[in-house]
Amino acid sequence: MRIAVTGSIATDHLMIFPGRFGDQLIADQLDRVSLSFLVDDLQIRRGGCAANIAFGMGCLGLRPVLVGAVGADFADYRSWLERHGVDCDSVHTSEVHHTARFLCTTDENHNQIASFYTGAMAEARLIELGPIAERLGGLDLVLVSPNDPEAMLRHTDEARGRGIPFAADPSQQLARMPGEEIRRLIDGAAYLFSNDYEKGLIEQKTGWSDEETLDRVGVRVTTLGPKGAVIDRKGEPSLHVSPAPELGKADPTGVGDAFRSGFLSGVAWGLPLERCGQIGNLTATHVLERVGCQEYELGRQVFLDRFAAAYGAAAAEEVAGFVRCHHP
């Protein structure tokens, strides 16, 4: 199954200031702030929703096709993703802009000053799915993850127009998109992904009830944080998928993306929805246990052992025939 994963590709630059921002701000001079914080630590982490999701699928042994826009600075990141099984041949490289970048400085009281530079991401709206489908001999699913909003609408419209099944994953962009556009992203989707908070936001902004949303999508997958996930289809009872026990909690950033990696891998392997949700939950747990979105390793044996412990030997047996982890 050929899956195109569209969405943002970015790096996070995270710095720590060993003092308090508040101490540096002079109350009666806020009209001419000129500050430079000497920071102790700089961590550069690979991120972006599409890159995170494609990375996870690559780690599980698939060959997802990453679709997004980057700058000329993408070379190192590209080679990292390619080494983890991601097809980067359809990534668009901007001639003028840098890859999207999140810059965040945190002080000792956890106050943050951050900026998000969109950069090349704005050019994602120039990407056509047609030539990508042609290169691959067809596409079986297009995932539309958070990205330049114009690009999200365009990929959805194009998939719909070409009769390619698509999965809607509007997540963070729900906050800024109007209801009318959100309806366009979701209507007719084979899969709809969100967390439980975003599920409410979708209903509020589209004006579609729980039932009406189900009328318009094939499968709705709602993640519930530490409670796992719930899978709904019209006319079927809800399927609750319990979480995979975590070995420790380091940083939850990227768990949602990792869930999608696992779930869609199960879909690609033709497994039943319950298994897809379980693979999603266990993949998400790997991210939770590490700081960073792409810092985890998926070892095949460890993955299957943990799968068996969480969901039983028979379920693990069913999955074992497909999981071809990138790491031994």
Ligand X SMILES: Nc1ncnc2c1ncn2[C@@H]1O[C@H](COP(=O)(O)OP(=O)(O)OP(=O)(O)O)[C@@H](O)[C@H]1O
Report how far residue 264's alpha carbon sits from residue 277's, in angstroms, rounded to the nearest whole number: 9
- Buried-state track 67-85, b at ≥16 Cβ within 10 A, e below 16: bbbbbeebeebbeebeebb
Selection from ligand X, Mg ion, none that 281 binds (CB < 5 to 8 A by kind) is ligand X
The least distance separating ligand X from the CB of residue 208, rounded to whole angstroms, comes to 20
Burial class (CB in 10 A: 0-12, 13-18, 19+), 278: buried
Alpha-helical runs (H) found in 105-178 = 130-136, 149-162
Report CA torsion sign: 174, 178, 181, 183.
Answer: positive
Q: Taking phi first (over 0 means left), then psi (-120 to 50 degrees means alpha), and beta for anything else, what does residue 163 get?
A: left
Q: Which stretch binds ligand X (CB under 6 A): 34-42, 85-93, 140-148, 248-256?
A: 248-256
Instruction: Please identify which of the residues 23, 31, 257, 305 carries the catalytic annotation.
Output: 257
Q: Which does 255 bind (CB under 5 to 8 A by kind): ligand X, Mg ion, none?
A: ligand X
Among 256, 279, 319, 323, binds ligand X (CB under 6 A): 256
Contact characters 143-182, Mg ion, x per CB under 5 A: ----------------------------x-----------
Closest CB to ligand X: residue number: 256
| Bridge partner list, 37 | none
Q: Does 259 bind ligand X (CB under 6 A)?
A: yes
Cβ–Cβ under 8 Å, residues 129 and 139: yes
One residue of 252, 270, 272, 312 binding ligand X per CB under 6 A = 252
Position 168 contacts ligand X (CB under 6 A):
no
Residue 145 is a binding residue for ligand X (CB under 6 A): no
Footprint on this chain of Mg ion (rule: CB under 5 A): 171, 256
Give the active site residues: 257
